[in-house]
Structure 1
């Protein structure tokens, strides 16, 4: 990996604690990604926050404030293919990877950087949506997280059961005809947050947090991302199938799931958490996909529960 260099951090829209920093780092396979962090005086440890598909560092500035209030530093990441990280396709708005192992390379580089800049251990994980898929694989690999809190983890993609084999077949065939970089059917270059109205959206019931995300996308459109590629869909389906065959790790964990979830498949979440040693599933009535972008009461409940778990596993 190359020597890190300073990267932009859009503090005008992040609304995080004072003193945030960001760096460019390069993974061992040559991808340039961006990491951002907020230190915390006297921190009890550092939360590594693994964001979902389409997300970026600034979206979690308020989460850094919530964690700092509970005594934790936070570091998060622009995964390859999104945010300001390298995007591999000529159309930079299509979200694409060939294999989910690529995200593990990003996470390995991120943990090394967290140590290099002196963020305090132990490390804890908060992982949302696609980040939950990446995070579960990281725990199975034995990466050094003392405990993990998941938010609507993508352990399955919500679609009709008959569609799964069709989606896997079509997305796999796309690789052989040079179409892996095309958008999945029904998606395109538009950012969901910028294109969809608040009414009826599938992310949050809180208009203030919706406005927070819209403001970020309008102020810094380079952060935004459109739909996933057929290649990403294949990689995601393959990884979810593989994870589904794996036993849960012996790491204390909790998982938050909104009862209005419409993006990830809730079935694998219920099944895994029912069998997870030292695991707990917390259900959130009247919540959509993004518990950390919900009402203040909901957000406080999630961060209180996550930090209680972290406090208990020092």
Structure 2
């Protein structure tokens, strides 16, 4: 007899958040494995894993800009309770990985494709040797960009993927869109060394009331408290180079979408002000026109951080993700 995993309604909830985080989540987090590998240009990339839960299937979580796997302890707890081993990495220039600029709070990257190469190295050197029959991927925001490009360039590795508010475009004022990338290139040349893009600043904890990320006060406060307890995780605004590299990568996601053979579920946050939601339609259309499997679901009323949102939005987002993954369940022997 197959043991059924917890129902979607047994996902971690805001009403019990503090108790859950202090109890079972902390207990599980203490069981994590952590390590480093060398990514492109000999950059040290940090990773974490929670294994021993399922020998057959694992989920690789690909987080967004300014994030760290430390932020996703609640999500990892929910993934483990749903019956998956979990792997995650911190991208170059953020989290516990090597920083790429003298200002350690500057969000910088040399080449966006380095993120994709690092993910490939992580999967080949850390995840695959475990011998799982099925690998799944959950990419959020910038991690959705990285996931999209990885899927397009490495077919056959990932069974199914979920893109949470993926950065297939950045929400920029219409009049700025044609000049954003060339302006960022010019600024990079004028600066001479990695520096903040115009209007960007080092890390600061934006008050909950004015934050564009989530409507969950308890989750938002936990995230901000985490970065105060571990200030080495703090990342502020992006560099000028990151801006034009990110814009170019977002466009490549759409142009390469037809090469993705992995079934994809794209989750859009209906009230997202960070990502250009119109670009999701372009990505979805590109996959469909290439006869690829891309499901599209809008979580109405949700802000950008679907995996960190209020239960009203987070629960249906995760329920849809698990439903998508379970379409590839290994049949009982």
Q: Deviations over 1:209-250 (max 9, x none)?
A: 111201111110100101000010011111122233234322
Unaligned runs of 5+ in 1: 1-10
The separation in 1 between residues aligned to 2:286 and 2:40, in whole angstroms, is 35
Q: How does 1:70-219 map to 2 (within 5 A)?
A: 70-115=82-127, 118=130, 120-143=132-155, 144-179=157-192, 181-191=194-204, 194=205, 196-219=206-229
Superposed, which structure 2 residues align to 1:1-314 within 5 Å?
Answer: 15=26, 17-18=28-29, 19-115=31-127, 118=130, 120-143=132-155, 144-179=157-192, 181-191=194-204, 194=205, 196-248=206-258, 249-276=260-287, 277-314=292-329
If you compute each CA radius of gyration, which structure gives the higher value, 1 or 2? 2
Say whether the 8 Å CA contact 1:16–1:64 is kept in structure 2.
no
Measure how far apart 1:178 and its partner are: 4.5
CA contact (8 A) 2:273 2:303 kept: yes
Q: What is the rounded CA distance, in whole Å, between the counterparts of 1:220 and 1:313 in structure 2?
A: 38
- Please identify, of 115-124 and 210-219, the stretch whose mean Cα deviation from structure 2 is larger: 115-124
Higher helix proportion:
2
Q: TM-score, normalised by structure 1?
A: 0.89
- Counterpart residue number, 2:15: none
Distance 1:45 1:16, change over 3 A: farther
Distance in 2 of aligned mates of 1:41 and 1:181: 42
TM-score, with length taken from structure 2: 0.84
Question: 68-77 vs 15-24, which deviates more?
Answer: 15-24
Aligned residues: 301
Question: How far is the alpha carbon of 1:280 from its aligned partner?
Answer: 1.4
Q: Over residues 134-180 of structure 1, what are the superposed CA-to-partner deviations in whole Å (9 max), with x where a residue is unaligned? A: 11000110251111101110000100233123221122223434445
3-state DSSP of counterpart to 2:130? coil
Tell me the C-alpha RMSD between the 2 structures. Answer: 2.1
Q: CA deviation at 1:112?
A: 2.2
Q: Deviation at 1:183?
A: 0.5
- Structure 2 distance, partners of 1:279, 1:69, is 26
Cα pair 1:16 1:61 within 8 Å, conserved:
no
The residue that corresponds to 1:3 in the other structure is none
**What's 2:13 paired with?**
none
Are 1:147 and 1:313, in contact at CA under 8 Å, matched by a contact in 2?
yes
3-state secondary structure, aligned to 2:123: helix
